[in-house]
A and B are shown apart, each in its own frame.
Chain A
Amino acid sequence: MAFDHPSLAGHRAIMIGGPDLGASLAARMRRADADVTELHWGDAAGIDADDAAAVGAATEAEVKRQDSLDVLVIDMLPLVAPRPLDATGPAIVAQALARVGGVATAMAAAFPALRRSTDARIIIIGHRYGQGVAEGIAPYNAAAWALVGLTRSAALDWGRYGIATTLLLPGAATAQFEAARAARPALIDALVAQLPLGRMGDPFDDIGGAVVMLAGPAGRFINGQTIHADGGRHIAGAVIDPARISQTR
């Protein structure tokens, strides 16, 4: 067991990610010397994240192109426009849950290769609304919670093959967050000051770091768990929520 820098040498990974975090996570894994392939969604050249079958097919094609796979990282949750539940039709819920379907089909496509690895991980990027919830975004909350069930199911079904599956809930200073900070700096700074660590997570160092930790020797026996890389936000109580402030009438 090596605890050397770089810690992921010899690990082959696929990172399915959106515009907010994906590139940072892949870059941090590369810094640990993992061999990372990125499958993008959210831009014209990327895969259609709303089409679960297409996500599965893209993953399957990439797995076939490689001869081995050790780590699958999937960041699929969509951005949704806030609206109350009474104005949320079934199509909007179905669209959000289709992203969970995409995670599941990607996992299934990667499974045969992960099973052949001696040190396999699935790291699903979720959201803290899969632990608590926020007002006005029921489809997102439902999708985030669904990922908890998916993570635990993979842990039970595939743990016997040495595949450890975890759900990582990040608290990151993404582009979306920085836009919110630019619009309301005093409010957002007050929010950040309430976090136990008093700062937002850096997508590369902090969230990418957590991915590297889970993908490395530390994550071998961590299975079915929800991990918060959030500076302690999940234990900090009612931290001001900018989404809520913007919706309060």
Chain B
Amino acid sequence: MKTNANLPPRLLQGRVAVVTGSTAGLGRGISLALARAGANVVVNGRDPERGTAVMADLSRIGAAAILVTGDVGEAAVAPRLIAEAVAHFGRLDILVNNAQARVPYAPLENTDISARFTTMLYSGLYGSLWTAQAALPYLRASGQGRIVNFGSLNGVSGARYAGPYNVTKSAIEALTRTMANEWGRFGITANAVLPSGLSESYARFFAGDPARGERAARGNPMRRHGDPERDIGAAVVGLASEAAAYITGQSLFVDGGQSVLGMPQFHQLGD
């Protein structure tokens, strides 16, 4: 009979997690959730000031954490990020690729759109690939390596005026499935979370029109927005935990069921 006798007190006790784009929004919430589950956390983002603020939040809950600033859309950053994580904590078990640049909404016929595709793909797709390449030896050595990437319902539904974002997010899902098929033999799982959470950019989107934000919340099957830490962060903790050892290649909506309804085309030019 298996018992609880030898279990650590918390789900991710002693594991080490890198969370890209974690100086704000969903990434910050994910970092806090991982820390509450006992993981040591490597915070990453472009803005040192915001990074320092998240470090203070983590410190308040007693987490061991370091901050590595840099844009994972630049090729040199990912190897440095992973190297600093391993140099400090001695191992790496969990890679969360949450970072994603933003560009203004634009129609596909916009002549600047290709440059925006490039910006988004470097930040989201290449950033996820480069961090995973750098992390691979350590995730193999972990024996319980986990990669959690981030897709979006926007990509699945082809939300208007968000072409560069949509394409990047769907490409990340395909990358995730490829990682799962190629690296499963190393015991590494790779899954994509497609969240609906009140991130910083989502909050900004609704800031000018709070009634629209309330309508969006009411339109969700669970009648609320997702919380970055308690909903999205908790799901990442779940996927990183021992309980999810057999779940890989999955695109997992953590969205209260919004994807069941589909997404309203509410993007307006100028948002």
Contact = CB atoms under 8 A, between A and B. Distances in A.
Given A205-B242, A219-B235, 6 more contacts: A3-B33, A5-B8, A164-B257, A196-B181, A210-B243, A221-B255
A3 B226 CA distance: 18
Which of B243, B245, B260 is packed against the most chain A CB atoms within 10 Å?
Answer: B243
A171 B254 CA distance: 22
A171 B253 contact: no
Contacts of B238: 213-214, 216-219
Contacts of A229: 246-247
B221 A155 contact: yes
B249 A234 contact: yes
Contacts of A27: 2
Interface of B: 2-4, 7-12, 33, 36-38, 177, 180-181, 184-185, 187, 189, 196, 220-223, 226-227, 229-232, 234-235, 237-239, 241-250, 252-257, 259-261
Contact of A222 (B229, B249, B252): B252
Given A217-B237, A232-B180, A159 B222 contact: yes
Nearest to B218: A160
B221 A223 contact: yes
A209 interface: yes
Contacts of A202: 246
A221 B254 contact: yes
A225 interface: yes
18 contacts: A1-B36, A4-B10, A198-B185, A205-B245, A206-B246, A209-B242, A210-B244, A217-B234, A219-B238, A221-B222, A221-B232, A221-B234, A221-B256, A232-B180, A232-B184, A234-B249, A235-B181, A236-B249
B256 A3 contact: no
A218 B237 contact: yes
A185 interface: no
A49 B146 CA distance: 38
Interface of A: 1, 3-7, 27, 31, 33, 152, 155-156, 159-160, 162, 164, 171, 195-198, 201-202, 204-207, 209-210, 212-214, 216-225, 227-232, 234-236
A221 B260 contact: no
A154 B4 CA distance: 33
A5 B11 contact: yes
**A contacts with B: majority SS:** mixed
Given A197-B184, A205-B245, A156 B4 contact: no
Contact of B221 (A160, A198, A228): A160
A1 B222 CA distance: 19
Which of B177, B239, B246, B260 is packed against the most chain A CB atoms within 10 Å?
Answer: B246
A-B CB proximity, top 4 nearest: A218-B238, A196-B184, A159-B221, A3-B37
Contacts of B223: 159-160
Contacts of A204: 2
B217 to A, nearest CB: 11
Contacts of A223: 221-222, 255-257, 260
A6 B2 CA distance: 13
A31 B260 CA distance: 32
A155 B246 contact: no
B88 to A, nearest CB: 22
B250 A228 contact: yes
A221 B233 CA distance: 11
A212 B243 contact: yes
B247 A210 contact: yes
B246 A230 contact: yes
Nearest to B37: A3
B237 A3 contact: yes
A6 B5 CA distance: 10
Contact of B256 (A159, A201, A214): A159
Contacts of B229: 1
Given A6-B7, A197-B187, A219-B238, A1 B245 contact: no
A31 B3 contact: yes
Given A171-B246, A235-B177, A4 B11 contact: yes
A39 B214 CA distance: 41
B221 A224 contact: yes
